[in-house]
């Protein structure tokens, strides 16, 4: 992987030619909006495909992944522009692997607000192991607010990402969080309400 810093007068075409890659691939991988009007100092990631596949009539991501002994998620990681698309089209070039690519296992974590853009979420999920929605809040009575996280949880499940429930102490009227927590921990009734609410949300 190479990081290129845009110089004065450079275009996406200039950069692509410099590194021997297609300008289409450079634009896709860096989400370049104005390829002929780049900002000096802007940085782009330069990746050189090692194995590619030209889509044929009837191809699916699952079939291509099976053909090359990889996974659909790995194809989405290497081709993030496909994440929010329903179809692939004949003639498209899909990157199977990149030069110098090292495959291993790491755990990654991210969080999202309930109002996250679905397209952004789909492009991010292939890189995550866990995701949490920010955030559920509980008060000293053990009651938990409700948030609309169904879409995020369903998409996370689709991408084999584990959703995690985040809980924070509610801070109404600038109450001191430690004071709220202290009252909550003193009350067995509040704790019972709290755990019952969690079970209701998770069920």
Mean pLDDT of the chain: 87
Per-residue pLDDT, averaged over 29-55, amounts to: 89
**Mean local confidence (pLDDT), 113-135:** 89
CATH numbers and ranges of domains, the chain: 2-98 (3.10.350.10), 109-202 (no CATH)
148's tokens: 């609309």
Q: Taking residues 40-65, what's their average pLDDT?
A: 92
Spell out the residues 6+ positions from residue 102 whose beta carbon is closer than 8 angstroms to its own.
Answer: none
Token pair, residue 84, equals: 């929010």
Please name every residue paired with 94 in a beta bridge, in sequence order, or none if there are none. Answer: 53
Q: What are the two backbone dihedrals, phi and then psi, of residue 199, each rounded to the nearest 5 degrees? A: -60, -40
């Amino acid at each position: 992987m190479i990081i290129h810093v845009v110089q004065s007068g450079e275009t996406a075409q200039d950069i692509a030619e410099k590194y021997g890659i297609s300008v289409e691939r450079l634009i896709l991988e860096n989400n370049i909006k104005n390829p002929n009007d780049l900002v000096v100092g802007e940085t782009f990631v330069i990746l050189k495909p090692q194995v590619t596949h030209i889509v044929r009539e009837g191809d699916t991501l699952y079939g291509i992944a099976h053909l090359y002994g990889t996974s659909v998620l790995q194809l989405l990681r290497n081709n993030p522009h496909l994440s929010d698309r329903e179809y692939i089209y004949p003639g498209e070039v899909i990157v199977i692997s990149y030069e110098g690519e090292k495959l291993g296992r790491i755990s990654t974590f991210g969080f999202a607000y309930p109002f996250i853009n679905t397209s952004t979420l789909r492009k991010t999920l292939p890189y995550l192991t866990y995701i949490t929605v920010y955030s559920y809040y509980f008060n000293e009575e053990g009651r938990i607010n409700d948030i609309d996280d169904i879409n995020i949880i369903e998409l996370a499940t689709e991408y084999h990402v584990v959703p995690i429930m985040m809980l924070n102490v509610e801070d109404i009227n600038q109450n001191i969080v430690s004071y709220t927590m202290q009252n909550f921990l003193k009350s067995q009734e509040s704790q019972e309400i709290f755990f019952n609410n969690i079970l209701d949300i998770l069920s």
